[in-house]
């Protein structure tokens, strides 16, 4: 791991959508970032896909100054109660400190309920999904695969590759032609993009 880079913190909780963040974490790790999992506590959690995950640390122990990024995956619990509200409050703490947050799928609804999307361009699964939260940011909704506004990245559940692309762009993991090639390879199965990545050492 690159000692000069602060860890990336990845939230984990029961029902987390385990397909949404794999592209991002795999290539962040390859780029030298330590990935640390953050749970409500250090008790193990189970994803939608049945994967059991032992968190590295509890949410209360995470500080923005010790992190490069907070990743919030989707999960059924975002829409069935307030169990995950503390993660949305932690996202506010990160953004207030100028540390990036990346939220996908149901996590965007959690941020909407926290008021974090009222004044930021954002996206999600569909606009009416967020509208159901009663949030005040409907006019800032963008119909796009993923959206970055300042230090906040949002994406819908069908866009894990675009979600990763925006994370790489924001953190400077890949840029320009290499970033475009990475996206084309994993989103479009563009074989020509592989050669670009091989030449740049980004694959």
Please identify every residue annotated as catalytic.
Answer: 105
Q: Which of 91, 79, 102 is nearest to 159 (CA)?
A: 102
Distance, CA of 199 to CA of 195 (rounded, Å): 6
| Phi, psi at 36, each rounded to 5° | -115, 125
Distance, CA of 8 to CA of 18 (rounded, Å): 17
Distance, CA of 121 to CA of 40 (rounded, Å): 28
Q: What one-character DSSP code corresponds to residue 126? A: -
Cβ atoms within 10 Å, residue 23: 21
Cβ atoms within 10 Å, residue 47: 18
Contacts 24+ apart (CB under 8 A), 177-183: 178/202, 182/27
């Amino acid at each position: 791991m690159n000692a000069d880079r602060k860890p990336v913190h990845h939230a984990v909780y029961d029902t987390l959508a385990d397909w949404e963040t794999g592209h991002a974490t795999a290539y962040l790790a390859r780029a030298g970032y330590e990935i640390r999992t953050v749970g409500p506590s250090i008790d193990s959690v189970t994803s939608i896909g049945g994967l059991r995950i032992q968190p590295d640390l509890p949410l209360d122990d995470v500080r923005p100054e010790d992190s490069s990024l907070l990743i919030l995956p989707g999960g059924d619990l975002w829409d069935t109660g307030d169990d995950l509200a503390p993660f949305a409050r932690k996202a506010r703490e990160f953004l207030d400190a100028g540390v990036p947050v990346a939220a996908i799928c149901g996590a965007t609804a959690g941020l909407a309920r926290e008021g974090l999307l009222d004044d930021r361009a954002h996206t999600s699964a569909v606009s009416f999904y967020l509208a159901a939260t009663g949030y005040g940011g409907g006019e800032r909704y963008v119909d796009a695969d993923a959206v970055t506004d300042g230090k906040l990245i949002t994406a819908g559940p069908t866009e894990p590759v675009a979600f990763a692309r925006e994370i790489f762009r924001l953190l400077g993991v890949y840029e320009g032609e290499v970033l475009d090639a990475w996206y084309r390879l994993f989103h479009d199965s563009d074989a020509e993009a592989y050669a670009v990545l091989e030449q740049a050492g980004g694959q």
